[in-house]
Chain A
Amino acid sequence: MTAAETLRPYAAVFAGRFQLTLQYRAAAFAGFITQCWFGVIRILIFAAFYAGGAAHAPMSLANAITYTWLGQAMLVFLPWNADPDVTEMVRSGAVAYERLRPVDNYAWWFMRAMAWSVARVAPRAALMIAFAGVAMPMVGLGAWALAPPPTWAAAGLFAVSAVGMVLLSAAITVLINIAMVRAMDERGPNILAAPIVNLFSGMVVPLAFFPDWLRPILRAQPIAGLVDIPFSIYFGGLSGWSAVGAIGLQFGWVLALVAFGHWALERAMRRLQVQGG
């Protein structure tokens, strides 16, 4: 088989899931409205903290606002849950069919997860950029808006880091899938994944706000690559070689998690118990 033939099923599962997920327009619009609202609340709280002591802050209020809007735009990249389709397969027992496909199970689930997250993020992010990045400055709310990256270099590095973010998100989703396959129940992994991801990615609060002695540890752990690293690169908080280093770390974690996930999935699937009948 040529390389193109080997890759074809993975491209197909990506395209299929992507187009299917994109159909949920009402959900995307409702998500956009919700994210706008939470963005406003977070920004008002930031503004209140800054009003009393901006000197203590590790970044300017404008950067914190940009970080917040980016977070709201890309919120559904965060791997909070096992893939719902895989959850359904585990519940019904159809997961056994996954073993019959002449494809690499890990790559198959990875592509599904990636298509699912990208297709949900794309419409929400487009609406959010139009709202917070274009409409708000036009009506004179520029101080509260999503600012563009300060330099072309920051934009370019962010683009690279955003790819890492997509891959990392899919890798973690598959890890949650694996935890679910092993537990035969999605509730435990799902209830714990969201808060851990929210906190350690820097979605609750940018990691820079944590005590200084904690920051090196927080930046080095894998989940930082989901939010804190790409967004800090976007507004210029990480630039030059430190940005390149952070991207290297991000991709390093992607490779490590993919390798671990591949191994763990094979192991879990060999001991798979099928439910249903």
Chain B
Amino acid sequence: MLNGLRLYGRYCAASLRAQMAYPGSLMMMISGQFLATAIEFIGVWAMFRRFGHIGAWTFGEVCLFYGLVSVTFSVADAISRGFDIFGSVFVRTGGFDRLLLRPRSPALQLMGYELRLTRIGRFTQGIGVFGIGVALSHFAVTPAAIAILLFAVAGGSALFTGLMVLQATLAFWTLESLEAVNILTYGGEAAAEYPLNVYADWFRKFLIWIVPVGCISYLPMLAAMGRADPLGTPSWFLPIAPIAGFLFLGVALFIWRFGVARYASSGS
């Protein structure tokens, strides 16, 4: 286990050095991503200027939800690149054979494939939006709130990584990175930008029980704000809800093993 962590650390270090080799290009990509995501946020601002609020939520409060999920997604997107491109880069080419020959778990090797620094752009946007939220709403930045949010980011990263693992697992059958899975990753992220109780009931259930993005954004954010859930989730569950993300990743890795066992090389 410790050995695996050390290996992961070395993978990351190697990936970072490779990306730092072209600092100018890296900076351009980071600022480009920051601008891109910041521009999209202007749309949210415009809607609030028009309507003033969504449900009982103000602009500042929605910024908190939006910032949290944006930060979370940027972390997941930075660490799970290996699974994201798994189908087209490893399965279709037969390159997965090489990973299987090495005496380490293929999941670990894929996690270490690349730690994408460009996602700092989106991360910064998320922090910025969250900052706007703190300034505009009466959000108390207490150690307890920060601890809850850090746990939410960890659980959320696990959840989105789990979705990427499922996408990679499907590639054993489809031989391609199946882009329809984007509706769960990008779609889940987009849905969690707003507090869950603004949605229709069926959609809310989907976001809690099937792809639990509600558990890593809406519920812990309520706990951090010191609010009760208008939908009646018991208050003791709110701060620990991100556990659902780790459970999801666990299930995804379990299914992944079936895929690996079934793998037949397709390369030449």
Q: Which of B33, B43, B47, B200 contacts A44 (CB 8 A)?
A: B200
A257–B140 Cα distance when bound, in Å, is: 51
State which size class the interface on B falls in. 20 to 34
Is B29 within 8 A of A191, CB to CB? yes
A48 to B203, CA, bound (A): 13
B32 & A49 in contact (Cβ 8 Å cutoff): no
User: Is B5 part of the binding interface, using a Cβ–Cβ cutoff of 8 Å?
Assistant: no
Contact yes or no, A51 B29, CB < 8 A: no
For B40-57 the 0/1 string (1 means CB < 8 A from A) is 101100110111111100
Q: Which residues of B contact A27 (CB under 8 A)?
A: 179
Q: A48-B54, A52-B51, A57-B50 are in contact. Are A191 and B33 (CB under 8 A)?
A: yes
CA distance A40 to B194 in the complex (A): 14
Task: Give, as a whole number of angstroms, the nearest-CB distance from A36 to chain B.
Answer: 8
Q: Are B180 and A33 in contact (CB under 8 A)?
A: yes
Question: Which of B92-100, B182-190, B251-259 lines the interface with chain A?
Answer: B182-190
Does B222 make an interface contact (CB < 8 A)? no
Q: Which residue of A lies closest to B183 (CB)?
A: A37
- Decide: B39 and A56 in contact? CB cutoff 8 A: no
A34 touches B180 (CB 8 A): yes
Q: Which residue of B lies closest to A210 (CB)?
A: B46
B55: contacting residue among A52, A187, A192, CB under 8 A: A52
**Interface flag for A195 (CB, 8 Å):** yes
- List the B side residues contacting A58 at CB < 8 Å: 50
Contact in complex: B29, A41 (CB < 8 Å): no
Given contacts A52-B55, A57-B51, contact A41 B187 (CB under 8 A): yes
Q: Is the CB of B55 within 8 A of A209?
A: no
Does B198 have its Cβ within 8 Å of any Cβ on chain A?
yes
When chains A and B are docked, how far (Å) is the Cα of A49 from the Cα of B46?
12
* Contact between B203 and A44, CB atoms less than 8 A apart: yes
Residues of A within 8 A of B33 (CB): 191
Supposing A41-B187, A188-B32 touch, asked if A195 and B39 sit within 8 A by C-beta, the answer is yes
A277 at the interface (CB under 8 A from B): no
For residue A57, which residues in chain B have a CB less than 8 angstroms away from its CB?
Answer: 50-51
> In this complex, which of B25, B33, B43, B200 has the most chain A Cβ atoms within 10 angstroms of its Cβ?
B43
Q: Is B55 within 8 A of A51, CB to CB?
A: yes
B36 at the interface (CB under 8 A from A): yes
Known: A30-B178, A30-B180. 11 other contacts (CB 8 A): A37-B183, A41-B190, A49-B47, A57-B50, A187-B28, A187-B29, A187-B32, A192-B35, A196-B39, A209-B47, A211-B46
The contact sample of 23 A-B pairs, CB cut-off 8 A, is A30-B180, A38-B187, A38-B190, A40-B203, A41-B187, A41-B190, A41-B191, A44-B200, A45-B54, A45-B194, A48-B55, A50-B51, A52-B51, A52-B52, A56-B52, A187-B25, A187-B32, A195-B40, A205-B43, A205-B47, A209-B50, A210-B46, A210-B49
Residues of chain B having any CB pair with chain A under 8 Å: 25, 28-29, 32-33, 35-37, 39-40, 42-43, 46-47, 49-55, 178-180, 182-183, 187, 190-191, 194, 198-200, 203
The 8 closest A-B pairs by CB, nearest first: A204-B43, A191-B32, A48-B198, A195-B39, A195-B36, A37-B183, A205-B43, A49-B51
The residues of A with any CB-CB pair to B shorter than 8 Å are 27, 30, 33-34, 37-38, 40-41, 44-45, 47-53, 56-58, 187-188, 191-192, 194-196, 198-199, 204-205, 209-211
